[in-house]
Amino acid sequence: MLKSIVGMRKILLVEDNEISRDILFRRLRKNGYQIVLAADGNQALAVAAREHPDLILMDMTLPGLDGWETTAELRRRPEVAAIPVIALTAHTLPGDRQRALAAGCDEYETKPVELPQLLEKIETLLARHPD
């Protein structure tokens, strides 16, 4: 599938908090990524199917269909199942990381997001999925 902006990797940012979404959107775009947005799990499923992003940043605490359920559903859908997912969450209790990985996330990043660390995880996952 052709990228709408040649050479830019596309990231689906799933975040219900408007301020957090805006800050992360601008920071990622400044680092050369094309960003598409979703504010909840159902939007994320629709946008992922339509846009076929290279990677998904998934807030785990979403209204309605939460990030765990959304990620598990993505993994059940063959057309989007291989897209890498990084969990973004303020959940830092023992077992939260394992819960995110068990739901199908490839990585886990706590909030507030440390951008250099997040960018490293993004690049590592994108290198494993070059197309």
Question: pLDDT tens across 69-108, in order?
Answer: 999 999 999 999 999 999 999 877 888 889 999 999 999 9
Question: How many distinct structural domains can be found in the chain?
Answer: 1
Does the residue 5 lie in any domain? no
Does the residue 15 lie in any domain? yes
- Residues whose CB is less than 8 angstroms from the CB of residue 98 and which lie 6 or more positions away in sequence, other chains included: none
Measure the CA angle with vertex 21, ends 17 and 24; round to 5°: 140
Give the residue numbers spanning the domain of 86.
10-128
CATH number at residue 100: 3.40.50.2300
What digits encode the pLDDT tens for the residues 12-66?
Answer: 999 999 999 999 999 999 999 999 999 999 999 999 999 999 999 999 999 999 9
Does the residue 3 lie in any domain? no
Does the residue 1 lie in any domain? no
Burial of 74 (0-12, 13-18, 19+ CB in 10 A): buried
Give the predicted TM-score (pTM) of the model: 0.93
Q: Does position 4 have pLDDT exceeding 50, yes or no?
A: no
Does the residue 2 lie in any domain? no
